[in-house]
Amino acid sequence: MRKLLFIISFITTIPSFAQTIEDTDVFLEHATYDLVADRLSCMEKEVPLHFNNRVYAFVNYFTVKDRPYTKKVIRLSTRYFPVFEYYLKKYNLPEELKYLSIVESGLNPQIISRAGAGGLWQFMPYTGNMYKLHQDWYIDERFDPYKATEAACKYLSTLYNMFGDWELALAAYNSGPGNVRKAIRRSGYKKGFWEIYRYLPRETRSYVPQFVAIAYALNYAEEYNLLSDTPTYLMEYDTLMVKGFVNLKTLANELSFCYEDIQTLNPHLKRFGLKSTDRQYPIRLPLDKIELARTNRDSLLYTASLNGQKQLEHMARNSVGSTFGRDKHVYRVKSGDVLGTIANRYHVRVSDIKKWNRLSSNTIRIGQSLNIWVYPGTKINPAYRPTTTASTVPLNFDGKKTYIVQPGDTLWDISKKYEDLDIEKIKKLNKLKSDQIKPGQILIVG
């Protein structure tokens, strides 16, 4: 989750930060407000670095209060900043935008937020698709440092062209251009970030100040004794084109290097295997292994295709929320619907529906659209409604009889609907620890 979510609550007042730093015997002189203002004015290039109490509080947070976090991102910056700088130059964008990824992800290429945003640049699935970041069960290019960075540059260019202001473009990157336009309207059509500040979402209000503060912290890292003794660098690599199924662990073993190196070079490959049936797909391999891999490509890929595919496909079909091999349907919730009835209608699990739609509870509302993924050929009964008669109880996937709890039902009521069924048997069949049940719950009854 973005660092922002953890530190918004900290920025309420500006405390006194002159103190002995815990990881050094050297006393660090606290940078005054005027000194930070002067340093920022010297740093400013294309992206405005406006300074005020809000920014100053974040500066103190990153340089004093949470030094371990800042030292960590400085250590990682040597790995990813060359990639960012390459693409920013390619798209003629300000180099200082490289600091934005720290605000987004803390330079963690595999981080995913509670909202579903992923990677160094925190793309949502929909936005990732817009910028042609491929996403399936095996691959998610939102986590590819190279492709995601190029997509971020394209998106930032679009936002800047839309608003003509870098601070507003950054705000739009965080909250979406619609929220920025809304804030502009509510402010009386003012154009500056700080002029529309109080009309923006709470997180976005802290987003631009964080960007300014983290840019300051990294530019003056030496003055704050934040430089890392162990910088990290990306491994040198080249690509091998593959098609069909490839077990990446077998591939690494055949080439005599660690599978973890493949994971490091390919954070967008989600499984230990990769399947690309309609096109060749590049896998990054350590540079010192690429000649051997290309020389023995056919035999190597044949060996790497022999095992693991069935295991991964079984995982794909049975993991909660998987869309592997399924077709998408959109269902609009009607009066009387509960997740249990909808799940029964489409022969899926309630947990699947919740995962597909990022639902944190079983609560749904009339008119709400739900994404449902079903296997081709599944018989769907759009008119299905649960009944209270034992003769029409649906079967689950194991051929067992099930009953959907109706409003007012008790275990005693349900037991009387079937022969050879009592309360204790219902509880045993469903592993219930109490007599409590709720409408929409699916119970095994035989």
Cα–chain center distance at 341: 30
d(CA 445, CA 251): 49
pLDDT at 248 over 90: yes
Going by pLDDT thresholds of 50, 70 and 90, the confidence category of residue 4 is: low
> Is 0.85 topped by the overall pTM?
no
Q: How sure is the predictor about 341, in pLDDT bands with cuts at 50, 70 and 90?
A: confident
Work out the angle between the directed axes of helices 166-175 and 177-186 (0-180°, nearest 10): 120
pLDDT above 70 covers a percentage of the chain that reads 88
Give the pLDDT score at 165: 97
Contacts of 220 (CB under 8 A, 6+ apart): 31, 39, 63
pLDDT at 397: 44
Q: What's the pLDDT tens digit per position in 358-403?
A: 888 888 998 899 999 898 888 887 654 444 444 344 554 455 678 8
Residue 406 pLDDT exceeds 50: yes
CA 192, CA 36: separation in Å to the nearest integer?
22
CB 180 within 8 A of CB 163: yes
Residue 21 is predicted with a pLDDT of 37
Q: Where are the beta strands (DSSP E) in 139-268?
A: 237-247
For 97-133, give the DSSP string. GGGHHHHHHTT-TT-B-TTS-BTTTTB-HHHHHHTT-
Q: Using the 8-state DSSP alphabet, how is residue 325 labeled?
A: T
Per-residue pLDDT of 104-145, as tens digits, reads 999 999 999 988 899 999 999 999 999 999 998 899 999 999
Rounded Cα distance between 400 and 241, Å, is 47
pLDDT score of 278: 83
**What CA–CA distance (Å, rounded) separates 97 from 56?**
20
Res 226 pLDDT > 90: yes
| Residues in a beta bridge with 373 | 328
Which of 26 and 347 is assigned the larger pLDDT?
A: 347
Among 21-30, 67-76, 213-222, 275-284, the least confident range: 21-30
Q: What is the helix (H) or strand (E) element at residue 280, kind and residue range? A: strand 273-286
DSSP codes joined into one string, 59-79: HHIIIIITHHHHHHHHHHHHH
pLDDT of residue 390: 41
User: What's the mean pLDDT when you consider all of the chain?
Assistant: 87
Looking at residue 394, its pLDDT comes to: 53
